[in-house]
Structure 1
Amino acid sequence: MADRPRNGGPEDGRPHDSGRAGGQDAPYGWLYGKDRGGAREPRPEETRVMPVQPRDGARPRTPAASQPPRGPGAPPPRSPAPPPAAPGRPPRRSRRFPRPRARWVLLLLLAWLAYLVVVPVLAWNDVEKVDFEPRDNRPPEQPGTTYLLVGSDSRSDLSPAERRRLGTGGAEGQRTDTIMLLHTGSGPNLLMSIPRDSTIDIPGHGTSKINAAYAFGGPRLLTRTIEDATGIRIDHYVEIGMGGLAGVVDAVGGIEICPDEAMVDPQAKLDIEAGCQEVDGPTALGYARSRKTYERFGDTQRAQAQREVVSAVGREVLSPWTVLNPFRYWNLMTSVPGFFAFGENTGPVRAAMWALAMTRVNGDAGLTCGVPISDLAVTWDSERAPRMFQAIIEDDTDSIPRQLCTPTGLPKEVTG
Structure 2
Amino acid sequence: MRTSSTSMRTWSGAVRWTPQQELRPTSQDGVVEAVHAARARGCSLRVLGGGHSFSALVATDGIPLSLDGYQGLVSADPATGLVTLRGGTRLWAVAELLAPYGLALSVMGDIDRQSIAGAIQTGTHGTGATFTGFAGMVRALRLVLTDGSVVDTSPTRDPELFAAARLGLGTIGVVLEVTLQCVPAYRLELVESTRALDPAVGSFLADSFRNDHHEIFWFPRTDRATVRTMHRLPADALRERPARAAELLQQEVLGNGAWELLCRAAALVPRLSRPVAEIASRSFAGSRVVDDSATVYAAPRRVRFHESEWALPAERFEEAFVALRSRIESERVRVTFPLEIRRAAADDVWLSTAYQRDTVYLAAHRYHAEEAGPYLLLVQRTLANFGARPHWGKQHWLGARELARLHPRFDDFRAVREAADPDGLLMSPYLRHLLG
Fold match (TM-score > 0.5) = no
Larger strand share, 1 or 2: 2
Instruction: Name the larger-Rg structure.
Output: 1
Query: TM-score w.r.t. structure 1 length?
Result: 0.21
